Structure 1
Amino acid sequence: MQDEERDNGLENLFRKKLEENEMVPGDNLTGRFMLRLGRREFLRFNPSRFNIYYLTAALAGVTVAGLMLFSGVHEEQEILQPEAHRETTTAVTELPGGQAPEPRETGEEAPSSATVAGNLVMEEEPSSPQPEAEPGRETVIIGGDAGGAMITLSAIAPVSQPAVTTAVTALSLEASAASGCVPLHVTFACNATDKSKVLWDFGDGGSSSECNADYIYDIPGKYPVILTVTDSGGRTTTASTSVEVWDRPGASFEVIKNDQWDEGDKVTFINMSTGAIDYLWDFGDGTFSTLPNPSYRYEHMGTYDVTLVAWSAEGCADSVTMTDLFTDRGMYIRFPNAFVPNSGGPTGGYYNQRTDEAAQVFHPVAAGIDTYNLKIYSKTGLLVFESNETEVGWDGWYRGQLCTPGVYVWKVRGTYRNGQSFIMAGDVTLLNY
């Protein structure tokens, strides 16, 4: 009992002492207490309060949404940028030395561009100096590091659907000649596949659907040649070049000599050629001259065939020969190299001054002829005309049909009135009518 009273006394004494002393908590005690309490509540799941479980779910949702948004933007950019999805056909050709040009990679940015038919875009890279082409061979420089300009035809996929890239064979063309004298025969070639449709436009109204085509230009001029190839997928590519055709000169001459010629007498040759700048005379005795109008003395009597060759500024040539100069006595035969037939109908081959002015009938200019036979053949060997009279020429018709413009071959044989025989051959161009 005493012990209990003593304990109560001590308790009352301590309580009194404590009541006399005021205990003031520190400034940060409440803040630290609330922070620890809030942290404990944040880590505890409570449906009515925001806690770590809600934060984790929110971060997961944001991450998924971000991934979906990034994926959608990437796909949209692929559709909106056609340069990343394009079907490219590169037109190239053979370079001198057999080197093939390197095509430009698909999607490479070009310095300039020009829109062509349909949805094709032609991109051209500035060219470096072009290499020299092989003589007598047309080379189209459209690509490569060795020189020239790269021509790229690109079919851009529509933006409304994913682009699908298909490999297309590079298109090239070749021409056996870029220029020449009329009639000019040119062989064209391309590398189109068997399933492709080919169309050549030769520039003078002629065309062909063959990949390897032969063509004859019979009228002087400069012609653009365009090759169009459509593949099995409907894509169209083109390549082009040009061909220049030069006219030939007309060689002709007359002779001034004494009717009673004696050894040592001078013979004067009068040049009547047209469209020529250079000449070569062959006097028939091993002597030559390049003068336009030479004079010559033959030391001995004999049989001399005099030939004149005339060249134009482009190098085109024509020739004419006067056979047996001194026994000619007005005996000769010569033929033109082209004529334009009358498209209104056949004339029977009879000619006069009016038809000669229009060059409508192919016939000889002759004198002193005793016998005569002229035959004319097409390039396939078909005999289209024959005559035994110098007064009857070819009007360009065959069995009631006007012959196709082009080159025909003629051959004539006969005798002069002095009994000397002659055989001559050549070609004549039937021009467009």
Structure 2
Amino acid sequence: MKRMNKDNNIEDRVRTEFEGYRVTPSKSLWGRVLRKMRWIEFLQFSPTHLNIYYLAALVVVSAGIYFGVRIHTPDNNAHSPKTSLELGKASSVKSSEKNSDIIPAKISSEKQTEKPDRVVDIHKKGKEKTTYGDNRAEEKKPFDTVQAVDKTEAKQNAGENYPPNEIPLGRKITETTGSDTKTTELSPETSPDEVLPHVEFKVLPKKGCPPLQVRFINQSENCERYIWTIGNKPVVFQNEKTNYIFEKPGTYIVSLTGANRQGQKDICTDTVTVFEAPKAEFEIYPRHATVPETEITFYNNSKNATKYLWDFGDGHFSEEAEPVHHYSSEGPFNIVLKVWSPQGCKDTFVVKNAFENSMYYIRFPNAFIPNPNGPCDGYFTEAPGANEVFHPVWKGVSEYHLQIYNRKGELIFTSNELQRGWDGYILDKMAKPDVYIWKANGTFSNGKPFVRFGNVTLIKKKN
């Protein structure tokens, strides 16, 4: 109890001693305390002062307004020229509106002529040099040979103004190769690096007779890959110049499709016409005629032909459709018929040795087998397989004489009749099997003489 009283007295005494004193904190300590109190207050929602909830709502609303306006506003920079283009004279714009990619110009009713503000001239060797309207120059590294000009043309109507987003834009790329210059106009959505493909090819010739060989020459530009089709059939051509042979007549549609790196395509079509070919053919009448006695008729069986040329093989010719010809001498003769269609297509038909089996001749066998039953006096029949009498086969023979000799040179048989030969008997007795010599001479029906000779073997028939 005494301890408690003692402590209470000390506390009361301290209070008494320091009563009236006030401790003031330092500025740095008081600043840290105030910032901490304000941060705690900012993180708590209160409708009377700014806090984190108000700030978050403001950010969301501002972002919505920004993106909404950007979506509905055309991008003026989308069509701004690249470094390889020339920005030409711009159309009239309002003085209050400003566009970083278009140079405002005053439009009058008269056509104005101004130098371009920037011209890009690119060469294979050297550097790219860009010249500006104020004589400034800029150099860049070289790349493909292209000279590009970009023009912005305004409507030439006096007093007519356009908003910046509606100024008509026409951009062009000019490519120069030697003395040839080609200009490609780009749409506002196309950049200079996305040049549209241009497909073109030549067909030489475009029509003709089968088999028709056609040469295709690919003259396309700005394409990375190609697809050829002839009719409905895809065809693979390895080179820019390729030959193709059309065998059958008809009209063929040839198409070439080309695509650039961006997948943009262009197509070119042409036609090839193959004419129907004629067919030459003829018959000879009579089929087994004897020349020069018989007059020969040629029957023309050709198709799709309107022009003819006959070569009779004896130095005579004819342009008639079905000529009649008389040969002045014997011979095999090669007959040639050439025909042409209305379009000039040609065909040829040849008959070689046309009268080989119908001209004058006389031929003898080289062996025979006599009849063992006895002689027949040399008269024979032309039955199939009959070979018991030695006699000739002939045509156009008017005179005839046959002689047969043995090995000793002795004459053993003679005949002046074509229908009578040697039956192999001498004085009604069969000659021994051996080789005998024969000789024949005479005259053909046209008066031409002939001489033939040879040997024949007599074969004894086995029992």
Larger radius of gyration: 2
Specify if TM > 0.5: no
- Report the TM-score, using the length of structure 1 for normalisation: 0.41
- Report the TM-score, using the length of structure 2 for normalisation: 0.38
Q: Greater relative contact order: 1 or 2 (C-alpha under 8 angstroms, separation 6 or more)? A: 1
